[in-house]
Amino acid sequence: MSQRSLILLSGCGNRDGSEIHECVCAMLALDQAGFDTAFTAPDMEQAATISHLTGSPAPARNVLEEAARFARGRIRPVADISVSDFDILVIPGGMGAALTLCDYALRGDGRGYEVEPSVRALVTSAWKASKPIGAMCIAPMVLAACLPGVTVTLGSECDAAAHARAMGAKTLECSATDAVVDEDLRVVTTPAYMVARRVSEIHQGASRMVEELESLL
């Protein structure tokens, strides 16, 4: 029986949802490793909606409906997911991770931010069940707020890394083509577009993340 991966999405597009390159690279790396991948997202209005053409505010959109673009319509709300449905959990980056999955980007100094309740429940249930968790780009901020003392990377030293440490996380610098492993908490993170300049670097980092996640099973 194939191992099962679950990708947690936050919409579609880097400005207000899941980063498309990161998500597709994660999907490809998981497929190349032999995983059967399913998708989930919160069924809620986006915390912010931005035009990907102009950068201006745009009409409100539903996170689940937007995320369904990645899944070709085959996606379930986070609230309907059981920890028994997957073997590993992967969270791509994109500003939706910091706007909707948690409200990090909406806080002035980024401190004391909160994770959307159904997302927190999913992450903590995965951790309690010893299911490996991967996160890319800014998405480790979700893990920093859910898993006290977790070690993550946000690429180089930056405000986000300092804010993750303020939440109790440990941070390590890492190149876009590599990943950081917290063996104790079974967490693997890769910085992706926090530091990457090319999509090929994203794919290398995603592949490294999946390789390390698989080793934790």
Q: For position 61, what pLDDT does the model report?
A: 92
**C-alpha torsion sign, points 11, 144, 77, 24:** positive
Give pLDDT tens digits along the chain (217 positions).
689 999 999 999 999 999 999 999 999 999 999 999 999 999 999 988 888 889 888 888 999 999 999 999 999 999 999 999 999 999 999 999 999 999 999 986 777 899 999 999 999 999 999 999 999 999 999 999 999 999 999 999 999 999 999 999 999 999 999 999 999 999 999 999 999 999 999 999 999 999 999 999 9
As a whole number of angstroms, the distance between CA 187 and CA 212 comes to: 9
- Could you list the residue range(s) of the whole structural domain that residue 154 is in? 4-215
Q: Which of 44, 41, 31 is nearest to 8 (CA)?
A: 41
Q: For position 49, what pLDDT does the model report?
A: 85
Asked if residues 182 and 151 have their Cβ atoms less than 8 Å apart, the reply is: yes
Residue with tokens 């069924």: 43
Which amino acid appears at position 14 of this protein? N
Asked if residues 139 and 93 have their Cβ atoms less than 8 Å apart, the reply is: yes
Question: How many distinct structural domains can be found in the chain?
Answer: 1
Q: For position 4, what pLDDT does the model report?
A: 98
Catalytic residues: 137
Strand order of the β-sheet with 180-182 is 76-77, 36-41, 4-8, 88-91, 133-136, 187-190, 180-182
Q: For position 1, what pLDDT does the model report?
A: 64
Structure tokens belonging to residue 201: 């670097």
CATH number of domain containing 161: 3.40.50.880
Residue 185 phi/psi, 5-degree rounding, is -100, 0
Which amino acid appears at position 122 of this protein? L
Q: What's the pTM? A: 0.96
As a whole number of angstroms, the distance between CA 106 and CA 104 comes to: 5
Structure tokens belonging to residue 170: 């440990």
Which amino acid appears at position 53 of this protein? L
Q: Kindly report, residue by residue over 138-163, the tens digit of the pLDDT.
A: 999 999 999 999 999 999 999 999 99
Asked if residues 76 and 102 have their Cβ atoms less than 8 Å apart, the reply is: no
Q: For position 111, what pLDDT does the model report?
A: 74
Q: For position 109, what pLDDT does the model report?
A: 72
